Amino acid sequence: MSAASSTEPVAGKTIIRPYGDATGDGMVQLSFTLPVPHDKRAEGAALQLAQKMGIDPAMVVHAKAMGPEFTFFVVYGRVHHLVDVSKVQVVDRAYPLLSPKDANAQIKRRLHRKLVVVGACIGTDAHTVGIDAILNIKGYAGEKGLEYYREIKVVNLGAQVTVPDLVERSRRERADAVLVSQVVTQRDAHLHNTKEMSAAFRESYPAGRQPLLVVGGPRFDEAAAADLGVDRIFGKGTTPSEVASYLVHALAAARTPA
């Protein structure tokens, strides 16, 4: 993915409009629900919304009552907005998103053994939803969890694991990465727990030998990794393949001789 290709104008044009059945017609379609009973006024309300969205003229091509209190609409119409393709900015991920198959292949090629991941909820936090979404084979958002990856060995310690237990188990399993999930944020518990955890790993491992420390949870700031002493923070909505891709990327980088 070169930087140039992502801003290359399509067929030489840099200013474009949506295409329905003719160049420049600007036609779009959308559907939505309004919390009103279906009548003439409801259809007028749908048109008003479409017009405020910049669709002009807008046509309500379908309206259907869904029970006594809701109406579903399909709207077609023209937008006049211009898109300047040369101004589109693409933020490239620092690492490529890998499919489970590719992640497995890369682990095999670069590590010559299984990648070991130890996961836990630490402190009093009993909400394993995050760690389970990432680790359990059931997965999250249609993606399988890390247990599904043939080349990843997952040790999920579950909830309410103490920091010393986590460190000890990580050493015993020779963990490449430690995944910690924190949901409870009362009195900043998630931040205190994470700092305590990263400090404990620093103390018990020789410098530069500790596993990758990764924390996740809905209330973390993804930019605060350095402050908390961890390698990476994942926020809400992170999927297993993002985590797997990151692990492969980070561990491969660490193990490539300088």
Please give the residue ranges that form the binding site for other proteins (CB under 8 A): 31-33, 64, 66-67, 70, 72, 126-129, 132-133, 136-138, 141-142, 144, 147-148, 156, 158-159
In whole angstroms, how close is the CB of 193 to other proteins at the nearest point? 18
Strands in the chain per DSSP E: 15-16, 27-34, 55-66, 70-79, 83-84, 115-121, 152-156, 177-181, 212-216, 232-234
Antiparallel, parallel or unpaired: β 15-16 and 83-84: antiparallel
Q: How many helices (H) and strands (E) does the chain have?
A: 8, 10
Among residues 149 and 201, whose Cβ is nearest to other proteins? 149
Among residues 12 and 142, whose Cβ is nearest to other proteins? 142
In whole angstroms, how close is the CB of 3 to other proteins at the nearest point? 27
Q: Which two tokens stand for residue 143?
A: 């993606």
Q: Which two tokens stand for residue 82?
A: 């211009």
In whole angstroms, how close is the CB of 33 to other proteins at the nearest point? 5
- Contact between residue 107 and residue 114 where contact means Cβ atoms under 8 Å apart: yes
Among residues 53 and 159, whose Cβ is nearest to other proteins? 159
Q: What are the residues facing 232 on neighbouring strands?
A: 214
Closest to 133 measured CA to CA, from 240, 215, 246 = 240
Antiparallel, parallel or unpaired: β 55-66 and 152-156: unpaired
Among residues 19 and 32, whose Cβ is nearest to other proteins? 32
Secondary-structure percent of the chain, ordered helix, strand, coil, rounded to 5? 35, 25, 40
- Rounded to an integer, what distance in angstroms lies between the CA atom of residue 89 and that of residue 69? 42
Give the catalytic positions in this structure.
138
Q: Which two tokens stand for residue 146?
A: 């890390």
Q: What are the residues facing 118 on neighbouring strands?
A: 155, 178
In whole angstroms, how close is the CB of 86 to other proteins at the nearest point? 27
Among residues 78 and 127, whose Cβ is nearest to other proteins? 127
